[in-house]
Structure 1
Amino acid sequence: MDEARLTRLRDWLAAASGDASLRIEQAQKLSGGAIQQNWALDVETIAGAQRWVLRTDSAAVLAVSLPRTAEYALLKAAWDAGVTVPEPLFLCEDPGVTGAPFFIMRRVGGTALGPRVVKDAALGGGREQLARALGRELARIHRIRPPRPDLAFLGAPPADAGLAVIATLRGRLDAAGTPRPAIEWGLRAAERSAPPPVPPVLVHNDFRTGNLMLDASGVTGVLDWEFAAWGDGHADLGWLCAKCWRFGNVAQEAGGLGPRKALYAGYETESGATVDDARVRWWELMAHLRWAVIAADQAQRHLSGEERSLELALTGHIVPELEWEILFLSEGR
């Protein structure tokens, strides 16, 4: 971040916080964030040193990604519902400050790096305890239900969340114009075997290893709310359990972090509802279909020249692996 933007940011934060003495000691771009940018801010205030994160858009964004104003509102709703999220602090809708709207949240400790966390069996108090904690977090998210005036930007819930996702993915494939027969096959298989709709809840839509800050004691923060929507809560369970988010630790079905049974147990204890395993398995197929379409879209961002990025380019190389899993999960449907 250049000096001019840092100066504008300091002035805005000073006004937003009511602290004219506020100083930004350091601003460092964090790794990751293929779709959004995150900046670690070390800030000196009248109350002492603060560790914050500024979250803003990358140069090119996915059409399905919510704007930062919406993500901030979701973070506030989750915070109020008792979900373990970084505390939301300030929202700036003026692109003139840093070049795009942004929000500030408190920085939390821990690590989220998928390949690292799946190798640490002691993380979060052990695999069973961590999986149960993840189930509890999802249950708290799913307590947020429509109608919610503060989340009006999410629109009306779909009549059938599963069929709505299938239609959306088909539309994106058609718009991309690249033949994807394995994905088309999987979408048809999912359509034939779709479970009946259930009452809608808030679905995080990206609750998976890599978006979960963890430390030795448990979950320190559920991150990245930009894909949230009204839908079937089983979609979040299926997304976390999808093989593509286990980072090689395939035996631990809950995101490579712990056993599926413990995840379900934590969810059921917190929610008082029984997890429908067959419905979760259907959403696992949908998870691979959705990630395959997103991965292809991200690769296209690089290929189109919109945002030249090695990370985006490499994402495109996982599509064949996802297609293989789609064919496997579609068998018999």
Structure 2
Amino acid sequence: MDEAPRARLTDWLRAASGDAALVIEKMALLSGGAIQQNWALDVSGGRAWVLRTDNAATLAVSHGRAQEYALLRAAFAAGVTVPEPLFLCEDVAVTGAPFFVMRRVAGTAAAHRVVKSDTLGGGRDACVRALGRELARIHTITPPRPDLSFLGTPPGDPYLAFIRDQRAALDRQRNPRPVLEWGLRHLERTAPPPVPPVLVHNDFRTGNVMLDESGVTAVLDWEFSVWSDPHADLGWLCAKCWRFGNDAQEAGGIGPRAALYEGYGQVDDTRVRWWELAAHIRWASIAVDQAERHISGVERNLELALTGHMVPGLEWEILRMVEARDAA
């Protein structure tokens, strides 16, 4: 960050924290964050914070920083293991974009490390049980919630709402995606009746959960949260695209599905499998959108460009899953 924005940020943090002597001793951009930027702040007094702000381009379905801050506060109050939210700034004159500050936590979220480790999170079975418990805590947050009014009215049928939204997303693309349309038609034919909506993290996966050797240290990245079916989070975590090559461990490439279900509590496996297929369709659609950010020239970025190359593999998995479901 340049000297002038850093000076403005220091002044703002002094006012927000009530510490007129506050000094930013070190500031470094953290790795990852294709959609948002995360800056590690080392602040006088031994305080370790993270500043989360926008990248140059964002996805239309992504919440703004004020909304994500509200979600983080709601999760923190519900006992979900999240970094403590500290301050929100919506004044773009400070750094050029809205941001919020939260406490920094220890651990790793690097998916390629997580799926290869037999000890992170306390071991594979213990880790996915803990992830199940985190999801169960998230799903205790139910509408109506005035502090989460930006989420809108919950859909009457989250299954049909998902299909409608994904069809609209595909209609916006420059090129047709017949496999994704075919997968959506299968979901439409097999949609179960709705259940009462809850807060769904909507991106609960390996890579968005911080772990150390003892367990879960933080659930991250709440920018896609919605009111929906709780099974959607379980299906997203179990989707093959989030196993990062460790396909035998169905819960995020970390551990067995049965242990995840055990940690969560009562689970309808049929609903989870529906959302698991939906996860591949949704991720393929997001991957197309992210690649378009690069192709359009809005944000030239190798990671975004490479994301587009994932789509054929996702389409192949959608074909395989639909065939298997039809044969069952």
Same fold at TM > 0.5:
yes
Match for residue 204 of structure 1? Answer: 201
Specify the SS of the correspondent of 2:304.
helix
Tell me the TM-score normalized by structure 1. 0.97
Q: Structure 2: 5+ residue runs without aligned partners?
A: none
Tell me the TM-score normalized by structure 2. 0.98
Match for residue 271 of structure 1? Answer: none
Q: Does residue 216 in structure 1 map to residue 213 in structure 2?
A: yes
Letter aligned with residue 47 of structure 2:
Q
Match for residue 275 of structure 1? Answer: 267
Q: Does residue 329 in structure 1 map to residue 321 in structure 2?
A: yes
Query: How many residues end up aligned between the 2 structures?
Result: 325
Residues of 1 paired with 2:260 and 2:148: CA distance?
Answer: 27
Q: CA deviation at 1:177?
A: 2.6
Match for residue 36 of structure 2? Answer: 36
Match for residue 22 of structure 1? Answer: 22
Q: CA deviation at 1:174?
A: 0.6
Residues of 1 paired with 2:204 and 2:102: CA distance?
Answer: 19
Q: Structure 1: 5+ residue runs without aligned partners?
A: 269-273
Residues of 2 paired with 1:232 and 1:75: CA distance?
Answer: 20
Q: CA deviation at 1:249?
A: 0.6
Letter aligned with residue 316 of structure 1:
G
Match for residue 298 of structure 2? Answer: 306
Match for residue 241 of structure 2? Answer: 244
For 1:115-130, list aligned pairs within 5 A: 115-130=112-127
Q: CA deviation at 1:178?
A: 1.1
Specify the SS of the correspondent of 1:97.
helix
Residues of 1 paired with 2:173 and 2:274: CA distance?
Answer: 25
Q: Does residue 89 in structure 1 map to residue 81 in structure 2?
A: no
Residues of 1 paired with 2:26 and 2:120: CA distance?
Answer: 29
Q: Deviations over 1:89-131 (max 9, x none)?
A: 0000101101000000000000001011100011111111001
Specify the SS of the correspondent of 2:247.
coil
Q: Does residue 295 in structure 1 map to residue 292 in structure 2?
A: no
Q: In the alignment, which of 59, 62, 69 is matched to residue 59 of structure 2? A: 62
Match for residue 153 of structure 2? Answer: 156
Specify the SS of the correspondent of 1:322.
helix
Letter aligned with residue 33 of structure 1:
G
Residues of 2 paired with 1:191 and 1:295: CA distance?
Answer: 22
Letter aligned with residue 241 of structure 1:
C
Specify the SS of the correspondent of 1:83.
coil
Letter aligned with residue 10 of structure 2:
R
Residues of 2 paired with 1:177 and 1:279: CA distance?
Answer: 32
Q: Deviations over 1:167-214 (max 9, x none)?
A: 111111111131111111101111111111000000000000000000
Match for residue 137 of structure 1? Answer: 134
Q: Deviations over 1:64-90 (max 9, x none)?
A: 000000000000000000000000000
Residues of 1 paired with 2:176 and 2:223: CA distance?
Answer: 28
Letter aligned with residue 248 of structure 2:
A
Match for residue 52 of structure 1? Answer: 49
Letter aligned with residue 313 of structure 1:
A
Alpha-carbon RMSD: 0.6
Residues of 1 paired with 2:30 and 2:269: CA distance?
Answer: 37
